[in-house]
């Protein structure tokens, strides 16, 4: 049997996924990184994007949008603590398009730098969600 790595995806609400996988690709802040069995230990921040879960080395079994968070990798396990997570197939394209319009207005209407930065961060998440939805 091929070696596997244990992958756990946790959101603030619940444990979303816990299973043995061949590989997982995580959207790290410094670039995407793949995790295979016996990976070197690391901790990384996660940017808004898509986690690709591979049941075999050649086939993506699940694609999950994450809005950011942290990843911890050991030789046997990859744990992602996500701010928000959902299967890419469940993204409502129309709702995201409306959210993008609303957030663009929020950026334009921001009265202070902290308000503008918060609106820009939310806009970046919505843009990543839209890109994820388009990828399927």
Express each pLDDT in 15-44 by its tens digit: 999 999 999 999 999 999 999 999 999 999
pLDDT reported for residue 58: 83
Maximum CA pair distance of the chain? 59
- pLDDT confidence bin for 136, thresholds 50/70/90: confident
- Average pLDDT (93-103) is 95
DSSP H helical ranges for 1-136: 93-109, 113-134
Residues 6+ apart with CB under 8 A from 34: 23, 24, 25, 26
Those residues whose C-beta lies under 8 Å from the C-beta of residue 8, and which sit 6 or more positions away, are 15, 17, 18, 77, 78, 79, 80
Per-domain residue ranges of the chain: 5-88, 91-134
CATH number for the domain formed by residue range(s) 5-88: 2.60.15.10
Residue 9 has pLDDT above 90, yes or no: yes
Which pTM value belongs to this model?
0.91
54: nearest Cα among 33, 78, 77, 23? 23
Whether 21 and 7 have beta carbons less than 8 Å apart is answered as yes
CB-based contacts of 118, cutoff 8 Å, min separation 6: none
């Amino acid at each position: 049997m091929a070696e596997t790595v244990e992958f756990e995806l946790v959101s603030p609400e619940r444990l979303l996924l816990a299973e043995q996988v061949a590989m997982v690709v995580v959207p790290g802040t410094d670039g995407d990184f793949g995790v295979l069995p016996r990976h070197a230990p690391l901790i990384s921040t996660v940017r808004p994007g898509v986690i690709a879960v591979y049941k075999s080395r050649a086939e993506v079994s699940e694609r999950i949008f994450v809005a950011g968070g942290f990843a911890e990798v050991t030789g046997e396990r990859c744990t992602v603590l996500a701010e928000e997570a959902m299967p890419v197939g469940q993204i409502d394209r129309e709702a995201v398009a409306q959210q993008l319009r609303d957030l663009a207005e929020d950026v334009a209407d921001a009265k202070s730098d902290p308000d503008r930065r918060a609106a820009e961060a939310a806009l970046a998440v919505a843009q990543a969600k839209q890109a994820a939805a388009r990828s399927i």
